[in-house]
Amino acid sequence: MTETKAVKSEQTRALIVETALRLFRERGYEATTMRAIAKEAGVSVGNAYYYFGSKEELIQAYYDELQDEHVAACRAVLDAERDFAPRLLGVLKARVDTMVPYHEFAGKFFKFAAEPTSPLNPFSAESGPARAAAVAIYREVVDGSSLKIDDEFRKELPELLWLYSMGIVLYWVHDSSPGCRKTYLLVERTVPLVNKMVSMSRIPGFKSVTRELVNVIRDVRA
């Protein structure tokens, strides 16, 4: 009985998220109310608020679902590849693959997510769990590879790769090419450059630069 309730609860939660995303696409984020979401989902307003306290929480749920899809999509390449560049390329392409169905919505929603004080901003405290999960993927890219780099740089590289991926996402939001073709091209052309720069960190002349970069990251984060 308890298990049946849990399944039904998860189905209701998923239905609310799915309905909210559809209405956000159709009516816009700002114009869509929790009452409208509840009505379209066929649940009471109170029930909708039971699962999600606000529209912002619905977007955080969307972030989490998108993150889960990304983890599943890049599992094959992470299990099969050991070289750093193919691992990074596969993970970034999988990231774009999972985002493409939401491209129109992302374009309309971007102005809210880009607002520095918004809880929907990927750098906000509210987005912390999704951000940590995303960085964890890039940590797996690094730690599961045959890459030989300085230990201190290795610790910071996953977050740098996540920031790089956010640049890809920003380009994708504004990419009007068919099937986001230019975003895939951007990934394919920049991954070899990132690989070269990371590999150069092992060269004695570049080690001091790498250490300085690590210090800058840590000072900014503090």
pLDDT tens-place string over residues 38-86: 999 999 999 999 998 888 888 888 888 888 899 999 999 999 999 999 9
Each residue's pLDDT tens digit, 195-210:
998 988 887 777 777 7
- Domains by residue range for the chain, with CATH: 1-53 (1.10.10.60), 56-221 (1.10.357.10)
More confident site: 4 or 40: 40
Contact yes or no for 8/1 (Cβ under 8 A): no
Handedness of CA 11, 17, 23, 26 (dihedral sign): negative
Mean pLDDT of the region 115-143: 89
Q: CA of 81: how far to CAs of 75, 135, 140, in Å?
A: 10, 19, 12
pLDDT of res. 5? 73
Contact yes or no for 84/198 (Cβ under 8 A): yes
Structure pTM? 0.84
Each residue's pLDDT tens digit, 75-118:
999 999 999 999 999 999 999 999 888 888 787 777 777 888 88
Question: Could you tell me the end-to-end alpha-carbon distance of the chain, in angstroms, rounded to an integer?
Answer: 49
pLDDT of res. 182? 97
pLDDT of res. 3? 61
% of the chain residues with pLDDT over 90 = 48
What are the residues whose beta carbons fall under 8 Å from the beta carbon of 94, sequence distance 6 or more? Answer: 70, 73, 74, 77
Asked whether residue 2 carries a pLDDT value surpassing 70, the answer given is no
Which of 30-39, 87-96, 129-138, 191-200 is modeled with the greatest confidence? 87-96
Tokens of 113: 């997510």
